[in-house]
Homo-oligomer: A and B are copies of this chain.
Amino acid sequence: MKDMADEVLFDFLHMEMVSHVYKEQQSSKGELDSKDRAVCVSILEGMGFRVGQGLIERMTRDSPSFKDELDMMKFICKDFWTQVFRKQIDNLRTNHQGTYVLQDNKFALLAQLSSGKQYLEDAPKYLAYSCGLVRGALSNLGLESVVTAEVSLMPSCKFQVVIQKL
């Protein structure tokens, strides 16, 4: 009983935030066009960014520093992911030039949605916040990045991280 609710607290909060951000745009604009939707995605991404920064700061406060960039990415895939999404990333790939692909075969925030095709279009709504979380966490570790996500088959999901070299 306890575990079930633990599992869903974050998911409920997240769903409610997504729905609030879209509703507030809609109430001022009526039907949302692609520009309005981009605004929503950017609001959610920004909220995720700040939460990601705060979280990783608490998680790494007493940790030894990381060996290298790959070491940080592994921390995101294991410890950070488990904290927020209750499982590890299933697969991490890299070209060793600053691009990383993180694959989650059963992404928590998509698992509740129906797997029908019509939901594929909606997927960006539910991924923006998490892209922000990752970007915020990395930023706090000293890595500036661009994080995007794509869904091909629900509820599996790929996050692409491109580290911005200075």
The residues of B that contact A166 with a CB separation of less than 8 Å are none
**In chain A between 43 and 87, which residues have their CB closer than 8 angstroms to a CB of chain B?**
43, 47, 50-51, 54-55, 58-59, 61-63, 79, 83-84
User: Does A59 lie within 8 Å of B16, measured CB to CB?
Assistant: no
User: Does B59 lie within 8 Å of A1, measured CB to CB?
Assistant: yes
Number of copies of chain A assembled together: 2
The residues of B that contact A31 with a CB separation of less than 8 Å are none
Indicate whether A5 sits within 8 Å of B83 (C-beta atoms), given known contacts A13-B13, A54-B12: yes
Which one of B10, B43, B54, B79 contacts A20 once the chains associate, using CB atoms below 8 Å?
B43
Q: Which residue of B lies closest to A44 (CB)?
A: B20
Whether A2 is near chain B, meaning CB under 8 Å from some CB there, is yes
Majority SS of interface residues in chain A?
A: helix
Q: Chain A, 82-97, contact with B by CB distance < 8 Å: what is the 0/1 string?
A: 0110000000000000
User: Does B16 lie within 8 Å of A47, measured CB to CB?
Assistant: yes
Whole-angstrom CA separation of A20 from B16 in the bound complex? 13
User: Does B62 lie within 8 Å of A12, measured CB to CB?
Assistant: no
